[in-house]
Amino acid sequence: MPTEDVIVNVYGANWCSDCRRTKKYLGEQRIHYGWFDIERPGPEGEKALQFVYDTNEEIFSTKKRKIPAVEVIKEGERKIFVEPSNFELANFLGLATKAKKSFYHTIIIGAGPAGLTAAIYLARDGYDVLVIEQSTVGGQAFITNKLDNFPGFPEGISGAQFAENVKTQAERFGVEILSPQKVLEVSTCHQDGSFEECQFRVVKTESQEFTCSTVLIATGSNYRQLVVPGSDALLGVTIHYCATCDGFFYKNKKIFVVGGGNSAFEESLFLKEKFAKEVTILVRKDKPRASPVLQEKVKDREGMDVWVNSEVVELFGEDKLEKVTVKHHDTGKVEEYYPDGIFVFIGLSPNTVFLKHITLDSQGFVVTTNQQTSAKGIFAAGDCRLGSVKQAVAAAGEGSAAAIAIREYLSKN
Ligand code: NDP
């Protein structure tokens, strides 16, 4: 796009994964942007931080510090965004995101490790494959600071580099990636048809409609939100879902971490090591789910505490956390506490709300048998699937298993 017609300014911090995603997207589109680091010492950093506060206030009517804050001026029209999706930016910037064909052997929804692995396998076998991704190629793996346990990378690899490598590999085999583009519906070939009768599936996005023989749902999952009275007002101000992004604000401060799984324990260790003076992990049951190794690490660390049987009841404060009440299930008492901030890691919720004709469990995870969903010709792999183990390497493995199941299906239908 002719960049002289557009001015884009991104305000954020170097450790913020959403800021990296936004800059990467603009870079891929060859759009020049100004980068304003809110951490930069001196007046420039202060001015950038003030811009973030003002933008958040304009959008949410409260003084939050969610980043990135993005200012776009296009043909004289100014628009501000906070944590915009790539799709929102693309829409405002008028960037064309059209696929080359209208029919594919397989449409894969989601460009994380599961989707891209399946795409590589199928394209390598000569099938026409379209991958549709609403946000960033790489999925959750992209926003992970470092993948340390994916075999083949003895020194570990950054999530962003990993995503780039898999994308390059997929494109080498001719996989087409449509991004950012949101899938709205997956349906049968005609309104009254069943998946059993229909030979084709229809995939509708915000701007195009495709037919295909098979669909792979590989949409992954997102962090589950803590919903208690008061949580809405404080989201992004003193309630956070990303330690790497927001930990910086808690240098030498006291924080609560909610959750008893591996994420809560791993992120707590990171927050304590890099920033916080005290970290208290609140586990609602009588024991955490986190692995014994992580529990041991936390136990041995000075300044870290685990409170079991402890559940957040309410959060108080408007533009700053003033107080939190916690119910201790063993005593039945509700006590008041005054941490500086709260980080929440209470599991994942699958990105499957658009699936209307496929059996999901009560949490929204896709029910499968050997990667096949309840609808003929529609498969699922990775973190959105019921029973998946939520690991990048496992998602990649499921992607290959799904590709083999799809290949088998295509050979018979
Ligand atoms: P998990 O589902 O494993 O754990 C979620 C935790 O949050 C549980 O302790 C759960 O409590 C608690 N919880 C859920 N809802 C609430 C609520 N409303 N209030 C308070 N607590 C709540 O999620 P994770 O994000 O930790 O992990 C997801 C997956 O990713 C897992 O499979 C995990 O093993 C994996 N993972 C692996 C890592 C690694 O191998 N290095 C690192 C991080 C994650 P309860 O037990 O009561 O339900």
DSSP notation for 310-323? EEEEEEE-SSS--E
Ligand 1 pocket mutation, candidates 140, 241, 257, 262, criterion most atoms within 8 A of CB: 262
Element holding 204 (H helix, E strand): strand 201-205
> DSSP class of residue 253?
-
| Closest by CA position to 375, among listed 361, 391, 392, 356 | 356
Percentage of the chain beyond pLDDT 70 is 96
Question: For the chain, how many residues are written?
Answer: 413
pLDDT(305) > 50 = yes
Atom of ligand 1 lying closest to residue 345 CA: 25
| Closest by CA position to 70, among listed 19, 124, 20 | 19
- Give residue 140's pLDDT: 76
Ligand 1 pocket mutation, candidates 390, 393, 398, criterion most atoms within 8 A of CB: 390
Amino acid identity of residue 397, one-letter, is G
Residue nearest (by alpha carbon) to ligand 1 atom 30: 390
For residues 288 and 260, the answer to whether their CB atoms sit within 8 Å is: yes
Q: Could you tell me if the CB of 259 is within 6 A of ligand 1?
A: yes
| Tens of pLDDT, residues 42-52 | 999 999 999 99
Q: Is the model more confident about 193 or about 115?
A: 115
Q: Could you tell me if the CB of 257 is within 6 A of ligand 1?
A: no
What is 231-344's CATH topology?
FAD/NAD(P)-binding domain (3.50.50)
Burial class, 388, CB count within 10 angstroms (exposed 0-12 / middle 13-18 / buried 19+): buried
CA distance 158 to 21: 13
Question: Roughly how many angstroms between the first and final C-alpha of the chain, as a whole number?
Answer: 42
Q: Could you tell me if the CB of 347 is within 6 A of ligand 1?
A: yes
Q: 290 CA distance to ligand 1 centroid (A)?
A: 7
- Give residue 96's pLDDT: 57
> DSSP class of residue 226?
P
CA distance 290 to 405: 33
Inter-axis angle of helices 113-124 and 392-412, nearest 10: 40
- Give residue 51's pLDDT: 95
Atom of ligand 1 lying closest to residue 294 CA: 41
Ligand 1 pocket mutation, candidates 239, 284, 298, 345, criterion most atoms within 8 A of CB: 284
What is 103-222+348-412's CATH topology?
FAD/NAD(P)-binding domain (3.50.50)
Q: 262 CA distance to ligand 1 centroid (A)?
A: 6
Residue nearest (by alpha carbon) to ligand 1 atom 38: 262
Q: Which CATH architecture has domain 3-93?
A: 3-Layer(aba) Sandwich (3.40)
Parts of the chain belonging to CATH 3.50.50.60: 103-222+348-412, 231-344
Burial code (b: 16+ CB inside 10 Å, e: under 16) for 211-247 equals bbbbbbbbbbbebbebebebbebbbbbbbbbbbbbbb
Q: Could you tell me if the CB of 228 is within 6 A of ligand 1?
A: no
Residue nearest (by alpha carbon) to ligand 1 atom 33: 262
Side-chain half-sphere of 157: how many Cα atoms within 13 Å? 19
Percentage of the chain beyond pLDDT 90 is 68
What's the pTM value of the predicted model, to 2 decimals?
0.77
Residue nearest (by alpha carbon) to ligand 1 atom 21: 259
Please state the rounded mean pLDDT for residues 171-191. Answer: 90
- Give residue 236's pLDDT: 64
pLDDT(245) > 80 = no
Q: Could you tell me if the CB of 345 is within 6 A of ligand 1?
A: yes
Q: Could you tell me if the CB of 285 is within 6 A of ligand 1?
A: yes
- How would residue 2 be classed by pLDDT, with cut points 50, 70 and 90? very low
Q: Could you tell me if the CB of 346 is within 6 A of ligand 1?
A: yes
Give me the DSSP letters along 259-322: --SHHHHHHHHHHHHHT-SEEEEE-SSSS--S-HHHHHHHHHSTTEEEESSEEEEEEE-SSS--
**Residues 6 or more apart whose Cβ sits within 8 Å of residue 61:** none
Q: 264 CA distance to ligand 1 centroid (A)?
A: 7
Q: 267 CA distance to ligand 1 centroid (A)?
A: 11
Parts of the chain belonging to CATH 3.40.30.10: 3-93
**Residues 6 or more apart whose Cβ sits within 8 Å of residue 82:** 55, 56, 59, 60, 64, 66, 67, 68, 69, 70
Please state the rounded mean pLDDT for residues 364-393. Answer: 95
Amino acid identity of residue 22, one-letter, is T
CA distance 336 to 328: 11
Residue nearest (by alpha carbon) to ligand 1 atom 31: 390
Please state the rounded mean pLDDT for residues 6-33. Answer: 86
Residue nearest (by alpha carbon) to ligand 1 atom 28: 347
Q: 91 CA distance to ligand 1 centroid (A)?
A: 35
pLDDT(4) > 60 = no
